Structure 1
Amino acid sequence: MRSAPAGATAPTQQQAVLGHPKGLAFLFATEMWERFSYYGMRSLLVLYMVHYLLLEDRSQNVVGYTTLKSVLEGLFGPLGVQPFSSHIYGLYSAFVYLTPILGGLIADRWLGQRRTVILGAALMAIGHFMMAFETLFLLALVVLILGSGAFKPNISTQVGGLYAPGDRRRDRAFSIFYVGINLGAFLAPLVCGTLGENYGWHYGFTAAGVGMMLGLAIYLIGLPNLPHDRVRLRCDEPRKPLDRDEWRAIMALAMLFLPVTLFWATYEQQGNTIALWANVNTDRSINLLVWRGEIPTTWFQAFNPFMIFAFTPLIVALWSWQAKRNSEPSTIVKMALGCFGVALANLILVLAAWHSGADKASWLWLLAFFAVITIGELYISPIGLSLVTKIAPGRLVSMLMGIWLATSFVGNFISGWLGSFWSAMDKSLFFMMIAAIATFAGIVIWSFDRILKPILKE
C-alpha cells in the first residue's frame, strides 16, 4: 500500500452512496463490528469480574493478578471484589483511549493510517479470543488496549479524509459514522451479553472476537475505496515549524481537554456502576403482551445505542431548523449542553434511589436515564470528532485525534476511581456526585465559547 503525498485525501474515483463517498459505507461497517466487539466484551466485563473471575477460588489463577492488586492497594488501600473490579474496568477503558496517541503517531510518521488500522484490528481480534482463557485475562486486556490504540484514531481520521476542505457533508458524515458505532454497540449486549449470561462468559467473549474478524475482513475488501494516507513524514524529510493558525488550533483543543475529560468520567459509569445498579437495585420484571419475564442485566447496555438511532435524525433536524433561523448553538455550546445532559440523567437516578428507598427501582427509571444521557452524548461526542478533523493541522491529524481521544483515557481512569466508592456510598449521594461533576464540566466548556469562536471560525 503506497502512501499519498502530504495533503492527499480520498481516492480520485469515488462512487456516491446516498450522497456520500462509497468509502464511508466500508468505514461505517468496519467501525460497527469493532464497536460490537468492544461493547460486547464491556457489557460482560464488570459482571464477569464481580460474580465470577475475581472470587477468591479463581482469581489466583489469573496471570498478574497478585501484582496488580498489590499496586492498586498500595495506592488506594484494601480493595474488595467490587472496588478492585471497578479499578480494573477504569484502567482498561482508560488505556483504550491513551494508546491512540501512540497509534496516531505511528500512522503519521511510519505506517500510514491503512496499515495501522489493519494492525489494530488484528490485535483486537486476538485479544478477544484470549479472553476466553481465564489465566490470560489481564494479558488479553493489554492486547486489546494496544489494538484499540492503533485502530481508533486512524479509522476516524479516514472518515474526514473522504471529504475536501470545506465540504459541508463532513459533519453529517460523522453523524452517520456515529450511527455505525452505535449499531454495533446495540447488537453487542443482545448477542455477546446473552451468550455470556446464559451459556457461559467465554462464549460472549468469543463472539466479540468473531465480530472483530468480520470488521477486519470488511476493511480489507473496502481498501480501494478508502482515503490514501494523508501524511507520511519520514525521518529524513525536513519538517516545517507549525504556523500561528496551527498553534491556535492546537491550543483550542487543549483548552477543551480538561472539561471533556470530566464528561467522560461521568458518562462512562454506564458500563460500571450503572450495570451494577441494573443488576442489583433495579426491578427488571416486565409484563407485556409479547413478553413476560425479566430483562437480562446486559440488555440495558443496548438502551443507549438504540436511542442513538432514534434520536440522531431528530437532533440533526433540530440543528438544521435552528440553522435556518440563525439560532443553532455553536460547537462549544453544544458540547456544554452534552455535559448538562449527563448531569440531568444522573439526577433522574437520584430520584429513582430516593423514590424506591429500600426496594428495587423500576427499570423505567433506567429507560429515562438512558434517554437523557443519549441526547447529551449526541451533543458532544460526534461533534468533538468532527471538530478535530476540521481544525487539526493535516500533518498531525492522526496524532491530535489520538490526543483528543485521550480525554477518555483520563476520564475513564477517573471513572474507575469514582466507581470504587459505589459499595460504600448511599446511592442517591453517589448519583448526586456524578451530576455535580458533569455540571461543572458543562459550565467550564460554556465559558470558553466566546474565546474559541474566532479560532473555530464560527
Structure 2
Amino acid sequence: MHPSEPSRQKAHPAGLYFIAAAQGAWYFSRYSTQAILVLYLAHVVYAAPSNTAFPGVGALRHLLSWEAQTSNAQALASTTIGLLALCMIPTQIIGGFLSDRFMGRRRGALAGLVFLTLAPLFWAFDTSFILALPCFVIGLSLAVNLFAQVGDLYGDTDPRRADAYQLMSLVQEAAVIIGPTFCGWLAARYGWHEGFAAAGIVMLAGTLAYSLGWRHLPAPAVRSQPRDSGAAPVLLLKTGGQIALLIPILAMIFLCNEQIYDTYLIWGEQHYNRHLSGWVFPASWLMSLDAGVSFVTQIMAIAFWRYYTRHRGAPSEWGQITSFGVLGALAPLVLVYASAWSADPSQISMVWGLVFHFINDLAMATIMPISLALFIRLAPDNAKSMAAAAYALVGRLADIMAGQIGQNLPLWGSIRFWLLHTGIIFIGVVLLLVAKRLYTQESTHPSQV
C-alpha cells in the first residue's frame, strides 16, 4: 500500500483504526499484566515455600537469588521485571532487523500480537507460568512494528500524520486507565488468574481485529541494505553512535516514570492509605491513576507548547527536555517529604500520591514525545525505523535500572530510595546538557556530518 496523498482525504485511512484497535488491546493487556505480575510474583510465586506448583520457576528463583544477593520475595519480584526489560534490549534489535529485512512490518506486528496474546493466557495457569515470560518479551519486541505502520499510512507531508499519532496516544492512555483498573479489580476480587485471563481475552480480540483489517494495513516492500553507497554506512554508524549516547542519558531521566510500573506498586501497597469509604482499592489501580493523570497532563502540555510557540517561537528540543527533566526530578522529592513528615509512614495520604503523579506526568508529557522526535530527526532517512526502535530501548534500560534499584527498597527505606531517583535524574539532565554541546557543535559544521 502506498502512502495516502496529503490533503485529498479528510478522513483517516481505514487501516489506522485496525492498528488502533490492536494497539489499544496491546496496552490494555501489557499494563494490566505488568501491574498484576509484580504483585503476584511478590505475594504468590516467590513467597511460596516450594516452586513445585510453578515448573521452571525454581531455577529462575535460584538464578535471581544469586544475582540479587537475596531471597527476599519483594526484591526478586523487582529483579524479575528488570530481567524482562534486559532481555528486550537484544530482542527488540533482532525483531526490528527481521521485520525490516525478511518478515515485513505487517507480519512482524501480527507475530508480536500473537505472542502477546499467549503471555497472559499462560500466566493464567500455574503450570505454564514460566512459558509466558519469553512470549511477553518476544511479543513486545515485534509489536513495536505498529508504531512504524502508522507512519506508513501517510505521505511525509500529510498533515494527518501528527493527528494520527495523537489519536494513537489517546487510545494508549485510555487502555492504560481501563486495563489495570478492570484486571486489577478482577485479581483482587476473584483471584490472580482471572485478572491474567481477562487481559488475554482482550489481547485476543485485538489480534483478531488486526487480522480482519489485513487488506487495509500498509505493507511496504522489504528492502535489502544498499551496497552501492560508501558514505551511507559511515553516516549510519555515526548517527548510531550519537543516538546510542543518548539512550543511557535519557534512561536516567525516565527512571522515576518507569519505576511507577515496577517497585512503586509494592511501595504504594505498603505506604499509601488506600481507603475509599471503608473500601481499600487495589495497589494495581495506582497504574490506572497514573494513566488518568497522564491523559490530563498531555492535554496541558500540548496547550502550553502551542501557546509558547505562538508568543515566543518554536522552542528547541534540547531546551524542552532539559527544563522538564528538572521538573521530573522534583517528583520523587514529594514522596521523600511525605515519608519524612507523615505521622504514620505506612498511611501516607493519597493527596501526596496525586501530587507525585502530576509532577512526574507533566514532565513526561513533554520529555517523551520530544525525545522521540529528537531521535527521529538525528537519524538518516533510511534508518528512521531503527531510530524508533532505539528510542524504545530508553524505556527498557530505565526498566532495568528501576528493577535493580527496586530490589534494595527493603534495605534502604523510603527516603533513601526516592532520594536516589532524584539524584540520578539530575545527573541525567546534566549529562544531557553536556551532550547538547557536542551535537550543536556538529550541526554548525555540516560538512563534517
| Pairwise same-fold verdict (TM > 0.5) | yes
Amino acid at match of 1:412: D
| Distance in 1 between residues matched to 2:302 and 2:251, nearest whole Å | 25
Q: Quick check: 1:412 aligned with 2:399?
A: yes
3-state DSSP of counterpart to 1:10: coil
Amino acid at match of 1:208: A
Question: CA 1:405–1:118 in 2, change beyond 3 Å: closer, same or farther?
Answer: same
Q: Quick check: 1:110 aligned with 2:118?
A: no
Q: In structure 1, what is the equivalent of residue 422 of structure 2? A: 435
Deviates more, 1:425-434 or 1:57-66: 57-66
Deviation at 1:35, TM superposition (A): 0.4
Aligned length, in residue pairs:
442
Question: CA 1:182–1:15 in 2, change beyond 3 Å: closer, same or farther?
Answer: farther
3-state DSSP of counterpart to 1:59: coil
Identical-residue share of aligned pairs (%) = 25
Deviation at 1:437, TM superposition (A): 0.6
Deviation at 1:211, TM superposition (A): 1.6
| Distance in 1 between residues matched to 2:52 and 2:326, nearest whole Å | 43
| Distance in 2 between residues matched to 1:393 and 1:302, nearest whole Å | 37
Question: CA 1:214–1:394 in 2, change beyond 3 Å: closer, same or farther?
Answer: farther
| Distance in 1 between residues matched to 2:409 and 2:147, nearest whole Å | 34
Deviation at 1:202, TM superposition (A): 0.6
1:110-189 paired onto structure 2 within 5 Å = 110-152=102-144, 154-167=145-158, 170-189=161-180
Amino acid at match of 1:279: E
Deviates more, 1:20-29 or 1:431-440: 20-29
Question: CA 1:15–1:294 in 2, change beyond 3 Å: closer, same or farther?
Answer: farther
| Distance in 2 between residues matched to 1:178 and 1:426, nearest whole Å | 35
Question: CA 1:347–1:328 in 2, change beyond 3 Å: closer, same or farther?
Answer: farther
* Equivalent residue for 2:369, pick from 363, 382, 389: 382
Say if 1:99 and 1:402, in contact at 8 Å, map to a contact too. Answer: no
Q: In structure 1, what is the equivalent of residue 253 of structure 2? A: 263
Deviation at 1:448, TM superposition (A): 3.0
Deviation at 1:97, TM superposition (A): 5.0
3-state DSSP of counterpart to 2:213: helix
Deviation at 1:374, TM superposition (A): 0.9
Amino acid at match of 1:293: W
Q: In structure 2, what is the equivalent of residue 304 of structure 1? A: 290
| Distance in 1 between residues matched to 2:213 and 2:316, nearest whole Å | 35
Say if 1:157 and 1:397, in contact at 8 Å, map to a contact too. Answer: no
Say if 2:263 and 2:402, in contact at 8 Å, map to a contact too. Answer: no
| Distance in 2 between residues matched to 1:258 and 1:335, nearest whole Å | 14
| Distance in 2 between residues matched to 1:242 and 1:226, nearest whole Å | 33
Say if 1:312 and 1:378, in contact at 8 Å, map to a contact too. Answer: yes
| Distance in 1 between residues matched to 2:316 and 2:221, nearest whole Å | 28
Q: In structure 1, what is the equivalent of residue 447 of structure 2? A: none
Q: Quick check: 1:205 aligned with 2:205?
A: no
TM-score where L is the length of structure 1: 0.88
Say if 1:11 and 1:227, in contact at 8 Å, map to a contact too. Answer: no
Deviation at 1:99, TM superposition (A): 2.0
Say if 1:14 and 1:23, in contact at 8 Å, map to a contact too. Answer: no
If asked which structure has higher relative contact order (CA below 8 Å, sep 6+), I would say: 1
Q: In structure 2, what is the equivalent of residue 51 of structure 1? A: 43
Q: In structure 1, what is the equivalent of residue 316 of structure 2? A: 330
Question: CA 1:401–1:191 in 2, change beyond 3 Å: closer, same or farther?
Answer: same
Deviation at 1:321, TM superposition (A): 1.4
1:92-107 paired onto structure 2 within 5 Å = 92-107=84-99
Q: In structure 1, what is the equivalent of residue 24 of structure 2? A: 32
Q: Mind listing any 5+ residue stretches in structure 2 that lack a counterpart?
A: 445-449
3-state DSSP of counterpart to 2:276: strand
Deviation at 1:357, TM superposition (A): 4.6
Say if 2:20 and 2:168, in contact at 8 Å, map to a contact too. Answer: yes
TM-score where L is the length of structure 2: 0.90
Q: C-alpha root-mean-square deviation of aligned residues, in Å?
A: 2.7
